[in-house]
């Protein structure tokens, strides 16, 4: 357990999936967490209720990302919830996948939507966070293993590559304030984004077979690494991309040769 007592955190896309697991973990470590969501108010309320029933502190903030004024809406809710406190931890987690946005089939509208939600929004959220962010603060972006393994979803992969590039340069710019900027890159994780894992009997075992630790990832697997980077223990790690995937695609397991 890491100690985040007295800290504040914003986790985007914290109503469901990996973001919810991150919000719950940071709150259980003592942070007061802004649980951001786009449209699923019921899920955001569930996240806040789960945090509070475990003895933690949280408030929800609604903002549809990828539309004009999105960051203004988010920061109106965030600053009201923070009530004058600085922000210590920003986790840019919210993102969308558009499965049809492949090289042959992607439309300009899909391309722009993916970049608006997955790249433009986290960039300008980070920019707007800077005056609020305490020295020694943390920015953690959630990217994806598709930055290094091939996928038909080319546009989604490109958005995550942009996020990886952001962290390295931002880390160098913000180091003088003691702020670290890192990227966490999950492998295949069981969330709503990956409904296909439950559509056929062999999908999840197929991913497990490609993974050294022989299972599909779960939200808390990612959240625990976020907690490390957010904590004092992570103070000397910056500008890095951490692959958090149970050993996805490390190579064949049977050494037949």
Ligand X SMILES: NC(=O)c1ccc[n+]([C@@H]2O[C@H](COP(=O)([O-])OP(=O)(O)OC[C@H]3O[C@@H](n4cnc5c(N)ncnc54)[C@H](OP(=O)(O)O)[C@@H]3O)[C@@H](O)[C@H]2O)c1
Supply the residues annotated as catalytic.
156
Q: How far is the CB of 208 from ligand X (least distance, A)?
A: 13
Q: Cα 134 vs. chain centroid, distance in angstroms? A: 20
Residue 204 binding ligand X, by CB under 6 A: no
32-40, 78-86, 199-207, 236-244 -> range binding ligand X (CB under 6 A): 32-40
Q: Which of 186, 229, 230, 234 binds ligand X (CB under 6 A)?
A: 186
Q: How far is the CB of 205 from ligand X (least distance, A)?
A: 16
Residue 96 binding ligand X, by CB under 6 A: yes
Residue 132 binding ligand X, by CB under 6 A: no
Residue 188 binding ligand X, by CB under 6 A: yes
Residue 246 binding ligand X, by CB under 6 A: no
Q: How far is the CB of 117 from ligand X (least distance, A)?
A: 5
Q: How far is the CB of 155 from ligand X (least distance, A)?
A: 12
* 3-state per-residue secondary structure call for 49-83: HHHHHCCCEEEEEECCCCCCCHHHHHHHHHHHHHC
Question: Residue written as tokens 């959630």?
Answer: 142
Supply angle C-alpha 248, 114, 250, rounded to 5.
10
Dihedral sign of CA atoms 59, 34, 128, 219 in order: negative
Residue 28 binding ligand X, by CB under 6 A: no
- Region of 188 on the Ramachandran plot (φ > 0 left; ψ -120 to 50 alpha; else beta): beta
Distance in angstroms between the alpha carbons of the first and the last residue of the chain? 43
Residue 43 binding ligand X, by CB under 6 A: yes
Q: How far is the CB of 128 from ligand X (least distance, A)?
A: 15
Residue 13 binding ligand X, by CB under 6 A: yes
Closest residue by Cα to residue 149 from 160, 165, 139, 140: 160
Residue 60 binding ligand X, by CB under 6 A: no
- Region of 49 on the Ramachandran plot (φ > 0 left; ψ -120 to 50 alpha; else beta): alpha
Residue 64 binding ligand X, by CB under 6 A: yes
User: Strand order in 133-142's β-sheet?
Assistant: 57-62, 32-37, 8-11, 87-92, 133-142, 180-186, 241-244
Q: Which of 4, 51, 71, 142 binds ligand X (CB under 6 A)?
A: 142
User: Where along the sequence are the contacts to ligand X (CB under 6 A)?
Assistant: 13-19, 37-40, 43, 64-66, 93-96, 117, 142, 144, 186, 188-189, 191-194
């Amino acid at each position: 357990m890491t100690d985040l007592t007295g800290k504040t955190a914003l986790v985007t896309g914290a109503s469901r999936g990996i973001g919810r697991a991150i919000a719950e973990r940071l709150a259980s470590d003592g942070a007061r967490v802004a649980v951001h969501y786009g449209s699923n108010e019921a899920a955001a309320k569930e996240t806040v209720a789960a945090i509070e029933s475990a003895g933690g502190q949280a408030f929800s903030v609604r903002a549809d990302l990828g539309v004009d004024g999105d960051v203004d809406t988010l920061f109106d809710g965030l600053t009201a919830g923070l009530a004058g406190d600085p922000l210590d931890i920003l986790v840019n987690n919210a993102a969308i996948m558009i499965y049809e946005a492949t090289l042959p089939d992607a439309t300009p509208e899909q391309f722009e939507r993916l970049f608006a939600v997955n790249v433009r929004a986290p960039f300008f959220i980070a920019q707007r966070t800077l005056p609020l962010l305490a020295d020694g603060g943390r920015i953690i972006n959630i990217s994806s293993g598709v930055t290094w393994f091939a996928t038909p979803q080319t546009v989604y992969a490109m958005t995550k590559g942009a996020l990886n590039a952001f962290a390295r340069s931002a880390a160098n710019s913000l180091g003088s304030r003691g702020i670290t900027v890192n990227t966490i890159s999950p492998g295949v994780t069981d969330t709503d984004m990956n409904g296909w894992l439950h559509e056929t009997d062999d999908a999840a075992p197929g991913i497990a077979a490609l993974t050294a630790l022989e299972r599909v990832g779960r939200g808390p697997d990612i959240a625990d690494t976020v907690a490390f980077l957010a904590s004092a223990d992570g103070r000397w790690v910056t500008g890095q991309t951490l692959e958090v995937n149970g050993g996805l695609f490390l190579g064949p397991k049977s050494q037949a040769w």
